[in-house]
Amino acid sequence: MLEALIRTKNSPCADKRRGDVICVKLKAFADWGAMERRVHAVADWEDEELESSMRDSLAKTGVAPIKVTPYKECEYCNIFSDDENKIFEGNITKTRSKKYFDFILQAQQEKSQEQISQEFESNKEFTKNEILKEKPGLTIEAEEIKIVKKEEEEEYSSYLDTLKEQLSKYNIKTEIINGKLVRV
């Protein structure tokens, strides 16, 4: 069995929505901090394929894996201004969480292709508006802007720092190496 950390609120950022799966852990190793529990929901999660892959990783490394935004899908695209100038070229989040938690039904669900398409169009429109709001007429190449990736890295880095701090309270020394928490 898995346990998932679920977003409870929409975000002003285009691609973060209520019900998104933020992070998944093997339930036996799931230890969420007070801050995570205060601002997000924790739910049992069923995904045999993901669980199998995580158990394989655990068997190989001896370290319980953590999957951050495991259901996120991105697509490479170009965005053009109203006057047909290319203003963005790169990856845009198609959906942050194709599987999500429905708070009304209190159950996990999967988005339809139509829902994913609508979310993708919304994310493209949000990106276009943000670019044009900051610098009208600007053309941006993929290497110059990494909106979604930077946000995720900051969120994940903060999460790892919190875990490291909590483990140090139990005299477990860890370091963050290549984006992973490693016991030293």
Structure confidence at residue 35 (pLDDT): 87
Structure confidence at residue 180 (pLDDT): 77
| Residue 30 Ramachandran class (φ > 0 left, ψ -120 to 50 alpha, else beta) | beta
What is the tally of structural domains in the chain?
1
Structure confidence at residue 84 (pLDDT): 86
Tell me the pTM.
0.68
Structure confidence at residue 85 (pLDDT): 85
Q: Is residue 79 a contact partner of residue 87, using CB atoms and an 8 Å limit?
A: yes
Residue 39 lies in domain: 2-183
Which H or E element spans position 6?
strand 2-7
Structure confidence at residue 182 (pLDDT): 80
Structure confidence at residue 149 (pLDDT): 53
Comparing C-alpha atoms, which of 56, 45, 32, 63 is closest to residue 3? 45
Q: Is residue 7 a contact partner of residue 152, using CB atoms and an 8 Å limit?
A: no
Residues (pLDDT < 70) of the chain are 13-14, 135-153
